[in-house]
Structure 1
Amino acid sequence: MSYILSKTLIGVISSLMLSINTLFWSMIIFFFALLKLLLPFKPVRILIDRILNGLATNWISCNSGWMRLTQKIRWDVQGLDGLQYENWYLVNTNHQSWVDIFVLQHLLNRKIPFLKFLIKRQLIYVPVIGLAWWALDFPFVRRYSREYLEKHPNMRGKDLETTRKACDKFARIPTSVMNFPEGTRFSTTKQDKQKSPYRYLLKPKAGGIALAMESMGHKFQSLLDVTIVYPDGVPRFWDFLCGVVKRITVRIQHQQIPTRFIDGDYENNAKFREAFQQWLYQLWLEKDERIGQLLAEKNPASISYP
């Protein structure tokens, strides 16, 4: 009983610190976002974008602060060397839990530019944080079912169009574009439904990452292929807040963007699309094998707070 109360208390404290931190930085971000709307001049907007990214970076640093106070995670991380803050990166990662985003932000903050990623359209209505994502130019996309697209074929490709517009904005100042190729969090139910050929992953969707490479390939310093593993099982977000997560393993592979994919046409060139998909499937196969190897390792990670 005392353990449950202690765990719940940590969860409440973590939630309060997360909420206060979010409210504080969001209010400042909203002010500069309003300025950007009122001053529609490109040089001014670029300057304000840099200020907004700096504020968001401080926001993440404060999140890392309360994480260090409330979490005793054993981190096993490789691949953080050689990163540059004043550059562009394409970050490609598997997705299992909301915790993934906090892990990535915590590890990569101030090592590379602020991470931006596609968000489901309905999340813009989440109080405070939804508006903060909008103010920071996170691209919001609508997810349509196959049945809906069959009835409304004109809606096909709308999410790719949103991705292209977002990449045009990201090219102005150093940005890290994060992509979850699976498009959703992993679950065995989803894995069975789509008959995924992978043991630990869903099938990757190539459209978003292909458009990012086409739009910004010459800008990206490299592709950061990130693999996140929870050796003790995939946690719920509440578990994370309560300090239940004891071990997190992360591997980051630095890869050059293949030059043959920079100036291609994923939407209209069938041969290019096939080649790109095969490249991504191979990347995913290697990631699947890596996850299996990491889960099989018996050596616990050392206690550290990166």
Structure 2
Amino acid sequence: MPLPPLKDPSGVGSRILGQIKGWTAAILLFLAVLVCNVLQMASLAFWPFSRAIVRKLNREIANAWWTMCDLWSERLWNIEVEIVGDDIPSGENVLIVSNHQTMSDISTLFRFARSKGRLGDLKWFVKDALKYIPGIGWGMVFLDCVFLKRNWTRDRDSLERTFGKFKREQIPMWTITFAEGTRLLPHKLERSRAFAVERGLPQLNHLLLPRTKGFVAAVQGLREHLDAVYDATIAYENGVPSLWQWAKGYVQKAHLHVRRFPMDELPRDDAALNEWLYARFQEKDARLAHYYEHGVLR
């Protein structure tokens, strides 16, 4: 079952301090991302001369803001992220498949990307509506993130165009997909398990059944451009924190386990890729079960 939500501190003083810390972080980081939007729009002046320069500028802008976010949580709030698993080479183009319990998962993945010097190359599979939101949404447009309308006919054409651009222009990428399609909540887990029974698919206890279409499209569409797929499993101590609790500094420690699968190990057939993803989620489910029982993610 999903881990219970993280509880706020019981003391009034701790809660007041948390509110001050949270609002300070939210206001300053939002103002900073608006400055980034202005710089991103200014970068378009170079578009007629070199798309590569525009993309490099936007990678540096994204790297600066996301580094600021991660340093804030690491240095000021002392939030620890323990990263274990396979050794990760430098300079790879990868697709990262992660479980999704909370928006704080994004902050956990920031720490992983920063540890490998790839924050500026992050791209996300996100809802299409996000691109209309000032700040983060506008910024993602400049970073070639993958916007999805949750309509497969329309999304398939959009994915083909986006992946074609990545390959044609040799764009460096650490692309992240939350294959469950939404955050893990008890009622969603119940529906997911019922669907799995109906379709004869694996029943998971700590994860939603992954949606395979986007994953298969990404692997097949980017096969020549990707070096590997990373299987990322995120877990938290003492309960699942909201993003607001992360901003208030209530989180003490997050855990991230990463497995690396070279592209030549992935099946080439769509149906086999479906089964491959289901197998990874069964492993992730067992990994989380072990963590919840023994406190070790492995």
Q: TM-score, normalised by structure 1?
A: 0.82
Q: What is the identity, as a one-letter code, of the residue corresponding to 2:178?
A: F
Instruction: Determine if the alignment matches structure 1 residue 70 to structure 2 residue 66.
Output: no
User: Residues 224-260 of structure 1, C-alpha deviation per residue, up to 9 Å, x if partnerless?
Assistant: 1110001211111111111111120110111112456
Q: Hey, what does 1:169 align to over in structure 2?
A: 165
Report the 3-state secondary structure (helix = DSSP H, G, I; strand = E; otherwise coil) of the residue aligned with 1:157: helix
The secondary structure found in structure 2 opposite 1:92 is: strand
8 Å Cα contact 1:83-1:112 kept in structure 2: no
Q: Describe the SS at the equivalent of 1:118.
A: strand
Task: Tell me the equivalent position of 1:98.
Answer: 103
- 1:190 paired to 2:197: no
Map of 1:109 onto structure 2: 114
SS in structure 2 at match of 1:224: strand
2:156 and 2:176 mapped to 1: Cα distance?
Answer: 15
Q: Where do residues 85-164 of structure 1 align in structure 2 (5 Å cutoff)?
A: 86-109=91-114, 111=116, 113=118, 114-144=121-151, 156-164=152-160
Provide closer, same or farther for how the CA distance between residues 233 and 110 of structure 1 changes in structure 2, counting only shifts above 3 A: closer
Show the counterpart of 2:257.
Answer: 251
Q: Which amino acid aligns with 1:121?
A: D
Q: 1:209 aligns with which of 199, 212, 215?
A: 215
Who is 2:177 aligned against? 179
**235-244 or 12-21: bigger deviation:** 12-21
Change (3 A) 1:285 1:230: same
Deviates more, 1:62-71 or 1:181-190: 62-71
Closer/same/farther in 2, CA of residues 35 and 240 from structure 1, 3 Å limit? same
Of 26-35 and 124-133, the range deviating more from structure 2: 26-35
2:284 matched residue in structure 1: 287
List, as ranges, runs of 4+ consecutive aligned residues in structure 1 with deviation greater than 6 Å: none
Are the counterparts in 2 of residues 99 and 236 from structure 1 also a CA contact under 8 Å? yes
Partner Cα distance (1:160, 1:96) in 2: 26
Aligned counterpart, 1:297: 294
The one-letter code sitting in structure 2 at the alignment partner of 1:165 is R
Q: Secondary structure at the match of 2:123?
A: strand
**Letter paired with 2:141:** W
1:273 aligns with 2:270: yes
For the residue of structure 1 that corresponds to 2:206, the secondary structure is coil
Q: Which runs of 5+ in 1 are unaligned?
A: 145-155, 265-271, 301-306
Q: 1:201 to 1:18 in 2, by over 3 A?
A: same
Q: Is contact 1:21–1:62 with CA below 8 Å preserved after alignment? A: no
Alpha-carbon spacing, 1:119–1:99, altered in 2? closer, same or farther (3 Å): same
**Secondary structure in 2 matching 1:173:** coil
User: How far, CA to CA, are the matches of 2:293 and 2:14 in structure 1?
Assistant: 29
* Residue identity opposite 2:69 in structure 1: N
Output one character per residue of 1:137-196: Cα deviation in whole Å (capped at 9) or x when no partner.
Answer: 21221125xxxxxxxxxxx43222222222222222221111111111111111112225
Percent of matched pairs sharing the same residue: 24
* Worse-superposed segment, 276-285 or 125-134: 125-134
Letter of the structure 1 residue corresponding to residue 180 of structure 2: E
Whether the aligned pair in 2 keeps the contact of 1:94 and 1:182 (CA below 8 Å) is yes
Say which SS state the counterpart of residue 48 (structure 1) adopts: helix
The normalised TM-score by structure 2 is 0.84
CA offsets 1:46-73 (integer angstroms, 9 cap, x no match): 2321221122112211112222243222
Secondary structure of the 2:63 match is: helix
- Please tell me the root mean square deviation across aligned C-alpha atoms, in Å: 2.1
Native 8 Å contact 1:33 1:135 kept in 2:
no
Structure 1 residues 33, 235: closer, same or farther in 2, change over 3 A? farther
User: Is the aligned partner of 1:52 residue 2:63?
Assistant: no
Structure 2 stretches of 5 or more lacking a match? 1-11, 197-202
Task: Kindly indicate whether the alpha-carbon contact (under 8 Å) linking 2:73 and 2:79 is maintained by their aligned counterparts in 1.
Answer: no
CA spacing shift, 1:62–1:74, aligned 2, 3 Å: closer
Rounded Cα–Cα distance in structure 1 between residues aligned with 2:27 and 2:223:
40
SS at match of 2:224: coil
